[in-house]
Amino acid sequence: MTHLKPTVEMAEEAARGLEWRRQYNRGGTEVGVARARDISNRINLSEETISRMVSFFARHEVDKQAEGFSPGEEGYPSAGRIAWALWGGDPGVTWSNQKLKELQTDNQMNITINNRLGKVKLNSGVTKESADELIDKLDRLYGERAVAAQMTIGEIVCKADDAIDGIEIEINTPGGSVFEGQRIYNALREMSARGVEITATVNGLAASMGSVILMAGDQRRMTAGSRIMIHEASTIAAGDARALQKQAILLESISAEIAKTYAERTGMDEEEIREMMMAETWMTADEAKDKGFVDVILKNGKEEKSGQVDIGTEKINKREMKLIDRITNPSSIEAIEKIAALENVIATHDSELDAYKAKFESVEIALQEAAGFKAELDAKTAELELIKAESIAKDEALTKVNEVLVTTELEVEKAKASASEIAIEVLASIGQPEPIVEIVAEATATDHIEVLASLKGAARTLYYAKHGDEIRKILNK
């Protein structure tokens, strides 16, 4: 049985941290104080507590570079130095990492390849060393290292883009450095983008950055009894207001980025994620599945998938498409099933596409007919407008002619009246009385001629002007 009692050196460091906190009233949290009391009293610690210690030291290693952490520096002991002591200080770092390895039956990030499936394990805190090691393993599976080593699977020599079809990463970590965890996450997502299906499985604990690394999985699984923990980014800082403000802005930015990753991979709302992070939320397998952090729960070695998936309504995943080109074992039942499913999806989509094409062609024909009708309507409209314009012009011309005729008739009548008046005045001036010659209705041309013979000069002219038309009509009969 692994001995989990803190060392004397750890107890001395924790007691020093408690004394500093009483004296300077800074450094650490209530959780840190409780941890220091257990360590200073050398009480056996639980595996979960040891995991948290590893995570704390990994996250706050950077605090050792701050002013006031080391003796002789201004502000010593800084808030970061006091918190470091509360958790057991440097002796606690060495002890907690060692004990966590002893508690884990497999404490290395081993790499195995079986049927074109690579398997790695992350069973330690997220530090620069563990990140370097894991990324190196991934590179050996699917990168330049795989090519350089001419890794073979059966009789097949691996190529850079044909080494494996999938990666399984087993996660059991208390978390640690944000930036090193992000490196691991990015390495896994890069492999996914190249067509390798990533399966991430929580087997024990995925806390802090361990939960972020879990999000890199295309499929995420969790064994029953395991736990996931998410929280806000944290650090221990010292300095003036501006220095602390800069730290606060950095932490807020990191937390927002982590929340965005959770939201994108789970489908949850970012604001809800942030609330969970601020509350330091621990999730069981069932809770994690309900919130979308995992897709599958493993119970007694069997998978319980989250609901029924209709592959016909799902988007064709790039990894499935990649499988067709990269498959090397046609007899594989899994490969045949996936290919058959893809063929069904493609056939369904082809049928739907044909239906859409037919509808589109009908619409296109209708649009063409409508365009023809519109052209005809425009031509008729233009023709009617021209006829209307011509009609208006004719009406205006007739109106003007009528006006001229009316004016002319009036002028003629006026001229006749004027001529009569002038003739009478002339006759009167020469002593010629106004002719009073009345011709009966049945007068003949001879009658008129006799009258004309009796008249002279202007009187004769006046008479003829008055009865000339009548005389001509009689003569023309």
Q: How far apart are CA 19 and CA 29, in angstroms?
A: 14
Tell me the domains of the chain and their CATH numbers: 8-101 (no CATH), 104-231+280-307 (3.90.226.10), 398-476 (no CATH)
Rounded Cα distance between 398 and 375, Å, is 35
With beta carbons less than 8 A apart as the criterion, state whether 475 and 445 touch. yes
Joined tokens for residue 337: 């099933």
Which entry of 40, 208, 211, 255 is annotated as an active-site residue? 208
Cα–Cα dist 309/124, whole Å: 34
Q: Which helix (H) or strand (E) holds 386?
A: helix 333-429
Catalytic residue among 60, 177, 231, 255: 231
Active-site residue 3, yes or no?
no
Entry pTM:
0.46
- For the chain, 477 residues long, give each residue's pLDDT as a single digit of tens: 457 899 999 999 999 999 999 999 999 898 899 999 999 999 999 877 888 898 889 888 888 888 999 999 999 999 999 999 999 999 999 999 888 877 754 444 444 544 467 788 888 888 888 888 888 877 776 654 444 444 444 444 444 444 567 889 999 999 888 999 999 999 999 888 878 889 999 999 999 999 999 999 999 999 999 999 999 988 776 778 888 888 889 999 999 999 999 999 999 999 999 999 999 999 999 999 999 999 999 988 777 654 444 433 443 444 444 444 444 444 445 555 666 677 777 777 777 777 777 777 778 787 887 887 788 888 888 888 888 888 888 788 788 877 877 777 777 667 666 666 665 665 556 555 555 445 545 677 777 787 877 777 767 777 777 777 878 878 776
Peptide bond into 77 cis (omega under 30): yes
Cα 360 vs. chain centroid, distance in angstroms? 27
Q: Is 46 labeled as catalytic in the residue annotation? A: no
